[in-house]
Amino acid sequence: MTDMTAPAAPADAPRKGSLLEQDARTKRRNAAEKRFEVYGIIAVGIGVLALIALLTSILVNGLGAFQQTFLNVEVEFAEDRLDKNGNRDPADLAKVSTFGYKPLIEGALIATVDRLGLRPDGMSDGDIGAMVSNEAAAQLRNRVLADPDVIGTTHTVRILANARIDGYLKDRVDRASAELDGNVTPQQLELTDRLQAAGVLDKAFNWDFITAPDASENRPEASGLGVAILGSLYMMLVVLCLALPIGVAASIYLEEFAPKNRWTDLIEVNISNLAAVPSIVFGILGLAIFINFAGLPQSAPIVGGLVLTLMTLPTIIIATRASLKSVPPSIREAALGVGASKMQTVFHHVLPLAAPGILTGTIIGLAQALGETAPLLLIGMVAFVREYPDAPPEGFFDPASALPVQVYNWTQRADPAFVERASGAIIVLLIFLVAMNALAVFLRRRFERRW
Amino acid sequence: MNDMRLIDRATDMTDVKIAARGVQVFYGDTHAIKDVDVDIQDKTVTAFIGPSGCGKSTFLRCLNRMNDTIDSARVEGDIRIDGEDIYDRRVDPVQLRAKVGMVFQKPNPFPKSIYDNVAYGPKIHGLAKNRTDLDDIVERSLRRAALWDEAKDRLQEPGTGLSGGQQQRLCIARAVATEPEVLLMDEPCSALDPIATSQVEELIDELRANYSVVIVTHSMQQAARVSQKTAFFHLGNLVEYGETGQIFTNPQDSRTESYITGRIG
Amino acid sequence: MPLLWLIAIVIALAAVGAVLGRRRALASADGDARRLHSLPSYYAANVGLTVLTPALGLLALWLLIQPLYVDWRVTELIPDAAIPETSTRGLVMSDVRRVAEGLDTAIQQGAMTEDEAARLQTESTDIRERLAAVGVALGSNVRPEVLTAAQRYRDLSGTGTTLMAVAVLLAAIGGLAVSVLMTHRDFRARNTVERGIMVMLIAAASIAILTTVGIVLSMLFETANFFGQHSWTDFFFGLNWSPNFRGNSDLGIIPLLWGTLYISFIALLVAVPIGLFSAIYLSEYATRRVRSVAKPMIEILAGIPTIVYGLFALITVGPFLRDYFAQPLGLGNSGSSVMTAGLVMGIMLIPFVSSLSDDIINAVPQAMRDGSLALGATHSETIRQVVLPAALPGIVGAILLAASRAIGETMIVVLGAGAAARLDLNPFEAMTTVTVKIVSQLTGDTDFASPETLVAFALGLTLFVITLCLNVLALWIVRRYREQYE
């Protein structure tokens, strides 16, 4: 230790001040410290605010979709219009198109308006009739075809008002905008107010939004999510049936049996890469392999399910491996110690203990898959589908839509009423996601085991 | 000559640097330190010994308020350095720690160059007026930590590239670079091999000239080699405190005797 | 559905076999299970698996190969001269398939007999009308070559399907016979079954590789096709993107890449500081109460599907930026813009950056922090000068992963960025990205022969290569970083 010849510490050490008072430099440094913390608070605040803004925007825009404006009018199912032969032959009844029903409804509405003396000055019959949704005629026709006995009777029926009238009740349309809009007149809005006061027109919860199929471009008031929800459900079934067993099998191999060699290394790298491949690339894969090469039908839940399975596998594998890893080696040693084979050890002891973690990971993977949109666009799920798919397994091959794709579909349409529908669909989607995640959290809390 | 040094030592020892009274430490519900009173002298090496979990490291960390960084820790009682209560609300731990340096059990150099490791403290405390001043501080600190000869040609290489003993001396250099008045060492040699240990021990003995050094150790031999005063902790109590020679040759408490003779530990 | 029936029969055979195997094993040990080499259930499983595996494997293989073989045989029937100039062989073949399927439907509905379908002639019957009557709409009148080919197609497919059923059943019965005969008390059933299960596990693990191979192959072939019809120099270096379905399109990727990178850049500009600072705040400063509320809230952002962000961009952020920034500043009138998409994508990436940074910051050992604090450094000095430099490689990795996410993101840009390919610096102008163009070229009615459609595969491959490089680099950096502190 010859280094001690070095100059000793200067006697006049710079800080000999009291600990009880902060020197200027410390004050400056503490101010910087505070600033740094404030940056952190701002960052967290922005994140939380963004979440609130996002959810508020969706809720404000979308809650209206769950309510719909209906008109209650007395319609006479006139026999001379609907069944000229009077023989109730279904084939003849089917020949009367929706055009045959339209005047019936419009006439009924006009009659109601006049009976109650609500008609604003100078409003034409045509304008009154136009307040009814185009879909109403189809609904009435379906009712007659299902039950021909109503012909010749008079019933009070609940029919959809058109999207503009509905929009007026939801503050989307007002008199000023009506002046500029070719599809609605201020007189119609005036009449709407009067009809509402008279109880003919009302706004009520709309089950059809959840159960009905999509409707065409010019009748947003009739569109619903039925086919989309069914399609998403089918796809989730396919994903669950394929991704869970394959993912668990792959994880068991990689975690419990795989030797450390090039092949398993390659698999590991592949899995972590697949987790980060853009989802649209999986869409291209689905289009090229499942549709163009294997010849599976477009727009079918089976194809969507297969694509989403491939996307979900990495998530499930990563979660499963983590929960297999958390089972302590002592359990394995105990089982091997009583003479179980390695395979028996894994299937009898390790796997059951890891099951809650696997289940949680699978649910989270499914939730991810449920919200995935981009790959489904490429495999034709954007098609306009009004028919419900059949029951599985045939239904897997029928055309269907999917919840997130339905949202995209509606955003591409011109009528502003579809914005409300798209936001409403998102609310439905988010409810499913919240439910799934809550289930995952519940399972984790309920079965979590700390070793 | 010999007499002179003895007299020197005696005068130094009257100078109390740190005075602790009724110190209690709680980790959540655990009562880790129970009512400890101790006076630590200036320019002396004080050793804290005791079986593991006896609270010696915890007490050490009270002296520069490192326990503040642990959420669940709570300190009660009174600790004064130069007569000033370090747990006073007006005291900024940042200023306190500049005055009370610390070296840890495991060498923990920053992932920076050797030079930057040593210059870090002086830079944040603004001790250097200019670049040459900083160079001087770095050289002086490395020399004082007996690392200059080994490190002078590789000042820009990462500190993590040094050997274990060199890393620990680098951490000591880093601590002395901020010109502290007290140096706390938490088992500084437990991760080192015997040769590195003896180098560090020699260093500690030399540091005594300028600092009050408090060292926690699990090795009784080490305490006997380097310290002038020794405190024996057991189950959170300070059992016995006195001259090192006296503690090891003539312990007053039966627990101290049991520990020193190896019956408990 | 005959296929389902076939599978059901095979499964039934497996079940019967399992019972037989178990019984035979027990019989060979005189009913004393202790004298068997393995548990009785393993003998049952052995027979079951030996029935199922070859039969179902053969079935899968057959289903894969038969359409290819039939196509190949039927294509021979269509002379080159029979292919109209405006069409391709592939289109004619899809006509053939449609007619064949139409005939199937007609027979199913009883509108035609099997015999009649086989002897139909274009001269004597209006096929289009007959098929329309059973609900199969054809685009044009059926030409004689197409009808002949379709009849041949049905013929071959029918024979193939029958053969398949026979072969699969034979395989199943063969497996049953062999495995039941092998069953004996000394037979090592457990080892055999476990070997079989192991093979299945390995197969499942290999699906990851198959998927990657599938991705690469599916895009490589069509990309090669595309470069056969369109010059690669124009694609990679062209400054114009204006597809024209009458041919002669400009298909330069540069404007698309520009839009992609510009939007990703803005997204990272938003996400990296916010994500990093919130990770630092939540892991180093926040009290437990604040953390337990704020952390899940930020994580919720990660669980929200991208379509939701897309809609948010379209109906809220876009109009807001247009009305309060772009128009007052005179920078444009478009709701969809680089700024809209970038901002919303940035919000989407906040939790991604923050959770990755959180992991990485926590991986920096506490000893390092203690060392700095013990020197009298403040908390923020410790973070800025010790923790962040130590975590830097990991954070760079995280940013690269976020960049790869941003580049591959689709729904936000489809709804928020616009469709016009443009090389411009104004962030309030609508621009488009690689992913938007993949969607627009591949949705709707697509004709897989034209370069305007095939370009999507080249775009996809480019996207895949870019993100793959970023991911591999990022994962490599992050892994090296983790090892440093383990």
- The yes-or-no verdict on residue C284 having pLDDT over 70 is yes
How far is Cα B7 from Cα A146, in angstroms, rounded to an integer?
117
Q: According to the model, what pLDDT value does residue B116 have?
A: 93
Write the pLDDT tens digit of every residue in C145-173.
788 888 888 888 888 888 888 999 999 99
pLDDT of residue A350: 93
Q: Which of A23, C372, A4 is nearest to B101 (CA)?
A: C372
Q: What is the pLDDT of residues C367-404, one digit of tens each?
A: 899 999 999 899 999 999 999 988 888 899 999 999 99
pLDDT along chain A (451 residues), means of 10: 41 58 86 94 95 94 91 85 77 80 87 88 86 86 84 86 88 85 85 89 90 87 92 94 94 91 86 90 91 82 94 93 92 91 92 91 93 91 85 84 93 89 94 92 81 64
Name the H helices within C76-122: 89-108, 114-119
Dihedral sign computed on CA atoms, order C134, C140, C144, C146: negative
Look up residue A251 and give its amino acid.
Answer: S
B111 touches chain C (CB under 8 A): yes
pTM: 0.86
Q: Where are the alpha helices (DSSP H) in chain B?
A: 2-13, 56-62, 93-99, 114-125, 131-144, 148-151, 164-176, 194-207, 220-226, 244-249, 254-260
Contact A420, A223 (CB under 8 A): no
Kindly give, in sequence order, each residue whose CB lies less than 8 Å from that of residue C52, ignoring residues fewer than 6 positions away.
C10, C11, C14, C172, C175
Name which of C365, C369, C374 is nearest B64 (Cβ-Cβ). C374
Please give the C-alpha separations between residue C309 and each of B152, C33, C146, C257, in angstroms, as whole numbers.
Answer: 57, 63, 49, 22
Contact C458, C226 (CB under 8 A): yes
Contact flag A253-C201 (C-beta cutoff 8 Å): yes
| Rounded Cα gap, residues B61 and A155, in angstroms | 87
For residue A14, list chain B residues with Cβ-Cβ distance below 8 A: 127, 179
Residue A73 host element (H or E): strand A67-76
Q: What pLDDT does residue B10 have?
A: 42
Nearest-10 Cα torsion for C378, C383, C389, C395 = -170
- Nearest by CB to residue A6, choosing from B90, B143, B179, is B143
Nearest CA in chain C to A30: C378
Cβ atoms of residues A77 and A153 within 8 Å: yes
| Angstroms from B235 CA to nearest CA on chain C | 25
Asked if B124 has any chain C CB less than 8 Å from its own CB, the reply is yes
Contact between C463 and A278 using a beta-carbon 8 Å cutoff: yes
The strand pairing partners of B186, in sequence order, are B216
**Across-strand partners of B40?**
B18
Neighbours of chain A (3+ CB pairs under 8 A): B, C
* Pick from C380, C409, C475: CB nearest A33: C380
pLDDT digits (tens, 9 = 90+) for C258-280: 999 999 999 999 999 999 999 99
Yes or no, beta carbons of B140 and A23 under 8 Å apart? no
Given A1, A14, A20, which is nearest B206 (Cβ)? A1
Mean pLDDT of the region C47-71: 86
Name which of C69, C141, C62, C66 is nearest C98 in CA terms: C141
Rounded mean pLDDT, C40-65: 88
Residues of chain C with CATH 1.10.3720.10: 241-484
Inform me whether the C-beta atom of residue C301 falls under 8 Å from chain A C-beta atoms. yes
Report yes or no: C6 and C165 within 8 Å, Cβ to Cβ: yes
Q: CB neighbours of C137 closer than 8 A, spacing ≥ 6? A: C131
Task: Identify any residues that bridge with B79 across adjacent strands, giving them in sequence order.
Answer: B20
Residue A107 half-sphere exposure toward CB, CA atoms < 13 A? 10
**Chain A residues within 8 A of B206 when measuring between CB atoms:** 1, 4
Sheet with A154-160: list strands edge to edge. Answer: A154-160, A67-76, A201-205
pLDDT at A16: 58
Chains touching chain B through at least 3 C-beta pairs below 8 angstroms are A, C
Place of tokens 């913390």: A37
C369 in contact with B at a CB cutoff of 8 Å? yes
Residues 74-93 of C with CB under 8 A from A: none
pLDDT exceeds cutoff 90 at B133: yes
C153 C-beta neighbours (distance < 10 Å), count? 23
CB A161 within 8 A of CB A221: yes
Q: Do C311 and A289 touch (CB under 8 A)?
A: no
Task: Name the residue with tokens 């908390």.
Answer: C379
CA distances from A215 to A97, A134, A402, C127, C350 (A): 18, 10, 15, 33, 37
**Among all residues of chain A, which has the CA nearest to that of B209?**
A8
> Is residue C416 scored above 50 in pLDDT?
yes
Token digits for A13?
A: 């050490």
Q: Which residue of A has its CA nearest to B198?
A: A1
CATH of span C241-484 = 1.10.3720.10
Residue type present at position A141: R
Say yes or no: C406 contacts chain B, CB-CB below 8 A: no
Which of B92, B120, B125, B169 should be substituted to probe chain A, the one whose Cβ sees the most A Cβ atoms within 10 Å? B92
Chain C residues near residue A270 by CB distance under 8 angstroms: 208-209, 211-212
Query: What is residue B233's predicted lDDT score, i.e. its pLDDT?
Result: 92
Q: Among A81-85, B143-147, C293-297, C411-415, which stretch is predicted with the lowest mean pLDDT? A: A81-85
pLDDT in tens, B51-110: 888 888 899 999 989 888 887 888 999 999 988 899 888 888 888 998 899 999 889 999
How confident is the model at residue A396, as a pLDDT? 87
C139 pLDDT exceeds 70?
no
Spell out which residues of chain B touch residue A22, defining contact as CB-CB under 8 Å. Answer: 90, 92, 95
Average pLDDT value over all residues in chain C: 87
Give the number of B-C residue pairs with CB atoms closer than 8 Å: 68
CB B167 within 8 A of CB A26: no
pLDDT of residue A451: 64
Domain boundaries, chain A: 66-206, 226-447
CB contact under 8 A, A273 and C212: yes
Query: How many angstroms separate the CA atoms of C78 and C68, rounded?
Result: 16
B92, B143, B202: residue with CB nearest A26: B92
Minimal Cβ distance to A1: which of B124, B125, B202: B202
| Cα distance between residue C301 and residue A404, in whole Å | 17
Bigger pLDDT: C256 vs A118: C256
pLDDT of B217 > 80? The answer is yes
pLDDT value at C459 more than 90? yes
- Which chain C residue is nearest to residue A422, measuring alpha carbons? C311
Fold entry, domain A226-447: MetI-like fold (1.10.3720)
Which of the other chains make 3 or more beta carbon contacts under 8 angstroms with chain C?
A, B
Spatial distance between the Cα atoms of C447 and A375, rounded to a whole number of angstroms: 19
In chain A, what residues touch B173 (CB-CB under 8 Å)? none
Spell out which residues of chain C touch residue A431, defining contact as CB-CB under 8 Å.
none
d(CA A321, CA A248): 8
The domains found in chain B, sorted by start residue, are 16-108+180-260 (3.40.50.300)
Q: Which of A153, B22, A42 is nearest to C275 (CA)?
A: A42
Residue in chain A lying closest to C350 (CA)? A47
Query: How many other C-beta atoms lie within 10 A of the C-beta of residue A339?
Result: 7
Tell me, yes or no, if B64 comes closer than 8 A to chain C by beta carbon.
yes
Residue pair C445/A298 in contact (Cβ under 8 Å)? The answer is no
Report CB contact under 8 Å: C278, A47.
yes
For the four alpha carbons of A93, A97, A100 and A103, in that order, the dihedral sign comes to: positive
DSSP of C450-486: SHHHHHHHHHHHHHHHHHHHHHHHHHHHHHHHHHHT-
Evaluate whether C205 touches C59 at the Cβ level (below 8 Å). Answer: no
pLDDT tens readout for residues C21-47: 888 888 888 888 888 888 888 888 898
Of A30, A57, A314, the CB nearest to C316: A57
Residues of B with CB under 8 A from a CB of A: 81, 84, 86, 88, 90-92, 94-96, 98-99, 124-127, 139-140, 143-144, 146, 148-149, 179, 202-203, 206, 210
Which of C375, C392, C483 is the best substitution to test chain B (most B C-beta atoms within 10 A)?
A: C375
Position C486 confidence tier, pLDDT thresholds 50, 70, 90: low
Q: Which residues contact C123 (CB under 8 A, 6 or more apart)?
A: C144
Residue type for C433, please? T
pLDDT score of C87: 66
Q: How far is C386 from chain A (nearest CA, A)?
A: 15
* Contact assignment for B84 to A19 by CB distance below 8 Å: yes
| Dihedral sign for Cα atoms in the order C247, C253, C254, C260 | positive
C324 lies within 8 A of chain A by CB:
no
